[in-house]
Chains A and B, each alone.
Chain A
Amino acid sequence: MRTRYVLGTVLTLVLAIALVGCGGAAKQADTIKIGWFGPLTGDTALWGQAELNSVKMMIDDYNAAGGIKVGSKTYKLEVIGYDDKGDSTEAVNVAKRLSSQDHVVAIVGPQGSGEAIPVAPILAAAKVPYVASTATNPKVTVTESGAVNQYSFRACFTDPYQGKVAAYFAYQKLEKRNAAIFMTVDDSYSAGLAQYFKESFEKLGGKIVAEVSFTAGEKDFRAPLTKIKAANPDIIFMPNYYTDVALSAKQARDLGINQVLLGGDGWPSENLISLAGNALEGSMFINHLDFDGDIAKPFRDEYKAKYGKVAELNSYMIHDALLMVIDAIQRSGSLDGEKIKNALETCDIEGVTGHIKIGPTHDPVGKDAWLIKIIGPNMVFQEKFAAKD
């Protein structure tokens, strides 16, 4: 009797999988599906959630205005979003799902370089272009051998540029000569940014007195920080994500390390200052825009009104990524992946994060870097900085 019961359950389950699996997505004739993926769980979930919120909000706005016109037809928009858990293997999985199962015409995101890089060959094979939001590692669009990933684009500047800006700012503007680097060794973004900072800083004549790293997930930074203290730098470059930045800054201050800290675009977050207390007072970081500026204001207000939270950096970046995609779809007059990809290659628009003109490597050319200083509980815009030789 019991064996039959087990058999029955088993068969039902197998059948269920088959049915659900083969069901597939019923294609609606006048809806354009845009894919999104990013971290909805994990350390950077805050940003992933912010991105998805922004995309949904923008899509609602477009649909409320009647949809978008492509060629002679008007389409509604729909977003299909998945959690990549901040994990590369998971990103590959969801990229496959979005392209071959959900049949999206384009994808906005991901945000992490670690996720944006491995999906390049998959989305290229499926002919689905994607515009990464904050993935700054150069390998997202250009492979090690120098070939451009045909279907990969991004809305942000790249790490070589960001590292250069940081180095030039520290050397020329802040007049520091001895820098220490404190990075996350197993993160492409952090390690890449650190490498470019080092190259530029040394080229200017500066000296890197200590180069110390930790692994993601680490919470006690005292041992490596002590090494930095012993090297006595003028400034400490910390190209890490905000949770680690807050914690390491606190621990640094507790060790008596009082130098100014400099960081990249992994810093900006609403939680950064609440987690760090006053450990980041006077420290600075590079951002993609001025949060409190006029260009961003309408979006910022709408986001706050709709979600009750302050928009994160990623909200603005994904906003521009989506603008790029929609612009490309409309200019190409088609829903064909290859045509949209071609249109993206000549993208030249104004977003909330500045002027975005796509260059030959599928990256925006000459995008502004904004220097922000932490004063009290606020992130105060200092200046736009361009690295000039």
Chain B
Amino acid sequence: MEYILGIFELSAINLVAVLGLSILTGFTGLFSFGHAGFMAIGAYVGAIVTARLHLPFVAAILAAGLVAGIISIGIGRLTLKLKGDYFCIATMGFGEAIRLILNNWAWVGGARGWESIPQFKGISVSLPFIVAIISVILVWNMVNSRQGRNMVAVREEELAAQMAGINVMRTKMMALVTSAVLAGIAGALMANFVGFIAPKTFNMTKSTELTIIVIFGGIGSISGSVLGALLLTALPEIFRAFSDWRLVFYGLAVIVIMVGRPQGLLGGMELTPAGLRKAAAANKAKAALLAESRAMEKRGEI
């Protein structure tokens, strides 16, 4: 039973990071290949706070998010003005740079990693779950606020959004910082959960995996991210026998999704009664439009 709980806890931890990335990628349209770097920052800061400074774990989580957020402001200032794939490449560069710096830093264990990190269990409910639920609520509120609508506007058509008076740079920065804070918190939770961290855990493969989960779950959908995180954390454990093929499947899934169904599992949809109704209504409207245009064709009007 503890093993199952562990899987769900790991999913919850991944979820926090994925939610953050979802804000950046899913809602604001910026792809990042370096988010494992923010997780790494959070993990190491959290570990320093509990193992070296001997402060309670809550302090670790807060510090992790804070430091990751501050660093992301710096990174954002430098990179958010870059266009399209240059931004992606820059994030990749930063992600790797962070990892390599940690690799060379003996005080935190360097490349060999840092073991015996103090591990705190939750109060009565497990800590990762609490944090995950809080994160979902926060992100949900953000998405449904004006900030959220601005982000979607920037994603869809940046130039138009700017003309409509939206401060594009500020919107992007908010998205980046939020995503970094969440990734940092997830990192601290991860360090606490495993009790051991090493820089190579936070490599580019991890960053890419997070992005894949967001794409798989669906761009612009919070429930999609939740589902994606759950499935893509739990399924590999179930299919352990095929673990060789896990990444093969991920790669193929990305291609298939991008080419065939870019909205992923629940893109643009939410798994709530209101969300489902909205999706159903949209489908109906689309079908009606299609029928109408066919009718017009028949009548010779098109």
Residues of A within 8 A of B (CB): 1-3, 6-7, 10, 13-14, 16-17, 20-22, 41, 82-83, 85, 87-89, 92-93, 96-97, 100-101, 114, 117-118, 121-122, 139, 143, 185-188, 191, 215
The CA-CA distance from A20 to B238 in the complex, in Å, is 7
CB distance B240 to A82 under 8 Å? yes
Residues in A neighbouring B112, C-beta threshold 8 A = 114, 186-188, 191
Residues in A neighbouring B230, C-beta threshold 8 A = 14, 17
Residues in B neighbouring A89, C-beta threshold 8 A = 194, 196, 198, 201
The 5 closest A-B pairs by CB, nearest first: A186-B111, A101-B3, A118-B196, A100-B2, A100-B3
What's the least CB distance linking A100 to chain B, in Å? Answer: 4
Count CB-based A-B contacts (< 8 Å): 88
Residues in A neighbouring B243, C-beta threshold 8 A = 41, 83, 85
Residues in A neighbouring B195, C-beta threshold 8 A = 92, 118, 121-122
Residues in A neighbouring B237, C-beta threshold 8 A = 97
Chain B interface, DSSP helix/strand/loop, else mixed = helix
What's the least CB distance linking A215 to chain B, in Å? Answer: 7
The CA-CA distance from A93 to B271 in the complex, in Å, is 31
CB distance B200 to A1 under 8 Å? no
Residues in B neighbouring A82, C-beta threshold 8 A = 240
Residues of B within 8 A of A (CB): 1-4, 6-7, 103, 110-113, 115-116, 194-196, 198, 200-201, 227, 230-231, 234-235, 237-238, 240, 243-244, 265-266, 269, 271, 276, 279-280, 283
What's the least CB distance linking A83 to chain B, in Å? Answer: 6
Can you name 16 A-B residue pairings with CB atoms under 8 Å? A6-B266, A10-B227, A10-B271, A16-B238, A20-B238, A41-B244, A82-B240, A83-B240, A88-B196, A100-B2, A101-B4, A114-B113, A117-B115, A118-B115, A118-B196, A188-B112
CB distance B265 to A6 under 8 Å? yes
The CA-CA distance from A113 to B122 in the complex, in Å, is 30
Q: Out of B110, B231, B280, which one reaches A3, CB within 8 Å?
A: B280
The CA-CA distance from A191 to B1 in the complex, in Å, is 38
The CA-CA distance from A246 to B234 in the complex, in Å, is 39
Across the interface, name the chain B residue whose C-beta is closest to A216: B111
What's the least CB distance linking A387 to chain B, in Å? Answer: 26
CB distance A186 to B110 under 8 Å? yes
Across the interface, name the chain B residue whose C-beta is closest to A213: B111
What's the least CB distance linking A14 to chain B, in Å? Answer: 7
The CA-CA distance from A14 to B238 in the complex, in Å, is 12
CB distance B196 to A3 under 8 Å? no
Besides A17-B238, A185-B111, 6 other CB < 8 A contacts?
A20-B238, A85-B243, A87-B200, A89-B198, A100-B6, A101-B2
CB distance A92 to B4 under 8 Å? no
CB distance A2 to B111 under 8 Å? no
What's the least CB distance linking A347 to chain B, in Å? Answer: 26
Residues in A neighbouring B279, C-beta threshold 8 A = 3
What's the least CB distance linking B189 to chain A, in Å? Answer: 14
